[in-house]
Amino acid sequence: MYNNALNLLAILILISSFRLVANKRQNGYITTFRLQSLLLALISLIISVKSMVETKKFDEVIIIFVLIVVFKVIVIPMALRKTSDKVEYKVEKDFFINIPISMLLCCGLVVLCWYVVHHVEGITNPTTENYLVYSLSVVMIGLFFMISRKKALGQIIGFLVIENGLFLAAMMTTDGMPMIVELGLFFDLLTAFLIMGIFVFKINSTFDSIDVNKLKHLKG
Amino acid sequence: MIPALIVIPILAGGLVWISKNKLFIHTINLIGAAGLLIISILSLIDINNNKVITSSGLFKNLFYMDSLSGYILFITALAFFLVSLYSISYFGQELKEKVITISKLKLYYSLSNAFVLSMILALTTRNMGVMWISIEATTLASAFLVGFYNNKRAIEAAWKYLIICSVGIAFALLGIILLFYSSTVKLGGARISGLDWSYLIKYAVSLDPSILKIAFIFILIGFGTKIGFSPMHTWLPDAHSQAPSPVSALLSGVLLNTAMYGVIRVMSIVNKCLGNSNYTGNLLILLGVLSIGTAALFILVQQDYKRILAYSSIEHMGIIALGLGVCTPISIFAALYHTFNHAMTKLMLFLATGNVYLKHHTKKISSIHGLIKTMPVTGVVFVLGTFAITGMPPFGVFMSEFNTVVGTLFSKKYLVTALLLIFLSMVFAGFTKQLGKMFYGRNVNPEIKQGELDIIGPAVLIVLLCITVLAGIYIPTPFKELMDNTTNIILGIGG
């Protein structure tokens, strides 16, 4: 029951990253990111509640649950929406590779991740192997999303999705990293997001657009 | 000891905001930097006596220093002190020309203190997770420093730097998660110490080799992006050339070493686990040779003197990786010594370009002539620095490069030796061909007056010149002992 629920949620996270790649509009990216973060939050809730029921002690993962809900589900998507309203939001064609081919490439990435993880002999537990495949695939799809979009905002969302994949890996394979590391990760993520947001405004005001394709002055 | 290292940059970075007086701001930062330098030397003495420094109380599991961290920390503190001294001259001049305002100066000092703080944290922590966080924090603290001038090019460079380094380093986190997974599976659920590298090295033999192998690849790619290994180096020339010169000096001389430190820590764990295998060594040699080659090719065609220096940093990181990869006592000694020599020589060159830029307001090589005549001290230091960085005797870089070559020869890697020698001569040719035009001839621009801009800038350059020359002819005994200890730690002997 417990494992089934976690497995289902992890698969849903993977599917949500496919949905991200299938999106055409910026507002769609933000909704998908919010959905994915919600799924991630559910996973952390299940893990922490189970551990609390079993050991009858306070489990630190619940703090991560609260942080994910507050920041990734509420604050960051709201800030992203505000940013996307303020900077140029008309997107004619935001991607370099069209969507059907992107989807096929992402499927290829999942197969590749499965292949790599399957060939690591030390991972003997099949559940862990599955979880690693899911989380590694989310990271790879996030990376692919970043390089296939032109707008700076798309790159930020790609970065956030990569971070989601990393959180998934940390939570599912090891039941959570030490608390100080998790908190540090969160703080880092938030700062990175803030700084990237400021730079989006700077790019927008200096280049009159957030098309990173225009950033071509430095070469060689 | 360690708490002071953490508190000083926070204090210095905060106190600069309480006054508008230019002199006060410079002094506060300089005092902070000097304090860091003194404490890092004290902790080196402590390490020489007691082998390790640990902290007690609340942060018992967080801080830990041995010779390796102490050594890199010393380089960081020394470089930061010299750069702080130089900043007085550089930003003083920019204030005079109204390129920046007083509040921008305060921002610079706060951010550079935050930048140094994040590097100190990375070097003094024993927890790999916290190390990762601090190395990521270095990117965040320095992104605004790279985009300091807020023009198109600076913003482009900062955006590239931010995105490529953040994403690259995410892979290192994946590697660290795998490392943690391996330790929880094989060593039992020790949550607190599972990420502790001193603990992992101790029990490395019982970790799982195949997981460690893939973890090392992820970590090498991740931290390698930050180090600037080719082909993940693309952010480096842009960031180093667009940042203000003192920042470029810090980025190139110190930041790259800190990321390399992360790789070294993981390398010694994996090496111990895999026993006699050349797995990590071969990967490092491959990336090292690739980086040296890429840098050598690109140096030949640059038109911007700061970009040449940036590519040269890629080359030198490649040489250090090569030394680490060969993994014999002599090559590791060479790699460590090269870390110091590269930091000091590159600091000297980047600070010299700062003087040149302040005077000429251009980074193009073709529009500068007769540097030796117009700026006697900077010009001469620049010329000598060019020879130093390309590995001419009697400078320090020659010593360490020579040792690297000997190291590869002794371990019978003749192909690597041959490639290394070819690339090094290409770099030498590139440097002299490109930069040579700037030094000689007559100054044709009538607006450029003869003479240096002030005293502090050239004085720092001369101090650095003395250090690099001294490093080439004489190694003090305590310093030698320190490096021997560090070599032993990396090789896993008696550590």
Smallest Cα distance from B207 to chain A, Å: 9
H helices present in B147-255, as ranges: 152-187, 197-202, 209-227, 235-242, 245-250
Q: Decide if B177 and A169 are in contact by the 8 Å CB cutoff.
A: yes
Distance CA B140, CA A190 (A): 11
Per-residue pLDDT at B327 exceeds 70: yes
What value of ipTM does the predicted structure carry?
0.93
Q: Give the span between the Cα atoms of B47 and B66, in whole angstroms.
A: 6
Question: Rounded to an integer, what distance in angstroms lies between the CA atom of residue B139 and that of residue B137?
Answer: 5
pLDDT of A54 reads 86
Q: What is the mean pLDDT of residues B480-495?
A: 84
Burial code of B379-390, b = ≥16 C-beta within 10 A, e = fewer?
Answer: bbbbbbbbbbbb
Q: Which residues of A touch B162 (CB under 8 A)?
A: 192, 195-196, 199
Interface of A with B (CB under 8 A): 116, 120-123, 128, 136, 139, 143, 146, 152, 155, 159, 162-163, 166, 169-170, 173-174, 177-178, 180-181, 184-185, 187-188, 191-192, 195-196, 199, 202-203, 206-207, 212, 215-218, 220
**pLDDT of res. B263:** 95
Q: B122 CA to chain A: closest CA distance, Å? A: 13
Residue B466 has pLDDT above 70, yes or no: yes
Q: Return d(Cα A18, Cα A30) in angstroms, integer.
A: 14
Taking alpha carbons only, the member of B294, B279, B260 closest to residue B327 is B279
Query: Which tokens in the block code for residue A15?
Result: 């599917």
Would you state the structure tokens that stand for residue A37, as one six-digit string?
């973060």
Residue of A122, A207, A212 lying closest to B152 (CB–CB): A207
Q: Report the pLDDT averaged over residues B44-65.
A: 82
Interface of B with A in 296-335 (CB under 8 A): 298, 301-302, 307
Probe site for chain A from B134, B148, B153, B177 (most A CB atoms < 10 A): B177
User: How does DSSP classify residue A119?
Assistant: T
Contacts of A218 in chain B (CB under 8 A): 153, 156-157, 160, 237-238, 241-242
Report the C-alpha gap between B167 and A93 in whole angstroms: 24
DSSP state for residue A208 in the 8-state scheme? S
CA distances to B42, B133, B336 from B47, in Å? 9, 25, 17
Contacts of A123 in chain B (CB under 8 A): 211
Q: Which residue of A has its CA nearest to B311?
A: A220
DSSP A58: -
What is the C-alpha separation between B304 and A220, in angstroms, rounded? 10
Closest approach of chain A CAs to the CA of B93, in angstroms? 26
Pick the more confident residue, A144 or A85.
Answer: A144
Contacts of B127 in chain A (CB under 8 A): 178, 180-181
**Are B152 and A195 an interchain contact pair (Cβ–Cβ within 8 Å)?**
no
CA distances to A105, A188, A215, B216 from A151, rounded to whole Å, are 20, 23, 11, 33
CB-based contact, B156 to chain A, within 8 Å:
yes
What's the pLDDT score for residue A90? 58
Give CA separation, A170 vs A38, A173, B176, B300, B302, in Å: 17, 6, 9, 44, 43
Q: What mean pLDDT value characterizes chain B? A: 91
Our CA angle for B91, B94, B95, nearest 5°, is 85
Residue B54 forms beta bridges with which residues? B64
For residue B320, is pLDDT > 80? yes
Lowest mean pLDDT among A83-92, A94-103, A153-162, B330-339: A83-92
* Six token digits for residue B366: 């073709």
Shortest Cα distance, chain A CAs vs residue B470, angstroms: 35
- Indicate the average pLDDT of chain A: 88
B206 touches chain A (CB under 8 A): no
B86 — pLDDT class (breaks 50, 70, 90): very high
pLDDT at B398: 94
Average pLDDT over residues A18-47: 91
Task: Give φ, ψ of B65 to 5 degrees.
Answer: -135, 135
Decide: B172 and B219 in contact? Cβ < 8 Å: yes
Between chains, do A120 and B137 touch, taking CB under 8 Å as contact?
no
Number of CB atoms found within 10 A of residue A159's CB: 23
Condensed to tens digits (0 to 9), the pLDDT of residues B221-236 reads 999 999 999 899 999 9
Position of tokens 């969507």?
A99
CB contact under 8 Å between B159 and A215, yes or no, is yes
What does the pLDDT read at residue B495?
Answer: 46
Is A6 exposed, middle or buried (CB count within 10 Å of its CB: 0-12, 13-18, 19+)? buried
Where residue B8 falls among pLDDT bands split at 50, 70, 90? very high
pLDDT of residue A91 exceeding 80: no
Residue A159 has its nearest CB partner, among B156, B167, B214, at B167
Task: For residue B179, give the nearest of A161, A67, A181 by alpha carbon.
Answer: A181
The single residue listed with the structure tokens 């320190």 is B482
Cα end-to-end distance, chain B, whole Å: 22
Q: Do B156 and A155 touch (CB under 8 A)?
A: no
Structure-model confidence comparison of residues B110 and A179, the more confident one: B110
CA atoms within 13 A on the CB side of A17: 34
Question: Which residues of chain B neighbour A196 with C-beta distances below 8 Å?
Answer: 162-163
pLDDT over 90 (residue B296): yes
Q: How far apart are alpha carbons B412 and B46 in whole angstroms?
A: 38
Which pLDDT belongs to residue B494? 56
Pick A220's closest partner by Cβ from B153, B156, B301. B301
Please give the residue that has the higher pLDDT: either B414 or B57.
B414
How much of chain B, in percent, has pLDDT values that exceed 90?
75
Question: Which whole number is the average pLDDT over B296-310?
Answer: 93
Whole-number pLDDT of residue A149: 86
Q: What percent of chain A has pLDDT over 70?
A: 97
Query: Cβ contact (<8 Å) for A173 and B237?
Result: no
pLDDT in tens, B198-208: 888 888 888 89
Residue B59's contacts (CB-CB under 8 Å, 6 or more residues apart) are: none
B198 at interface of A, judged by CB pairs closer than 8 A: no
Look at B166 and A212 and tell me if their CB atoms are within 8 Å.
no
Give the pLDDT of residue A93: 66
N-to-C CA span, chain A:
56
Nearest by CB: B162 against A166, A196, A218:
A196
Pairwise pLDDT comparison (A58 vs B223), residue with the higher score: B223
Confidence of residue B378 (pLDDT cuts 50, 70, 90): very high
A202 and B153 within 8 Å at the Cβ level: the answer is no
Nearest Cβ partner for B152 among A116, A120, A206: A206
Q: Which of B132, B461, B487, B221 is nearest to B338 (CA)?
A: B487
Return the half-sphere exposure (C-beta side, CA atoms, 13 A cut-off) of residue B157. Answer: 26
From the list B346, B343, B288, B311, the residue with the least C-alpha distance to B434 is B311
H or E element, residue B53: strand B53-54
Task: Kindly give the residue spans of alpha helices, DSSP state H, lying in B16-101.
Answer: 22-50, 67-96
